[in-house]
Amino acid sequence: MRLDTAKPALDIVGFYERRGYCAVDEVHWEGKTYDTVVMEKKLPVPANLVEGQARGQPRDD
């Protein structure tokens, strides 16, 4: 999952870092006076969506 926020907003950046996000890119959007930091958090894959298993299909345990 990715999000972006103002790079100078250190309190907001820290808020997301404490929740497992890390900075992966920086962008300067046209018309803005500040840089933006793009942050990413890896999400766990639900057990029913493991590799090779179709959605909604029962497992062969």
pTM for this model (two decimals): 0.71
Per-residue pLDDT of the chain in tens (61 residues, 90 and over written 9):
999 999 999 999 999 999 999 999 999 999 999 999 999 999 988 877 776 655 556 556 5
Contact, 12 vs 19, CB < 8 A?
no
- The C-alpha atoms of residue 60 and residue 25 are separated, in whole angstroms, by 41
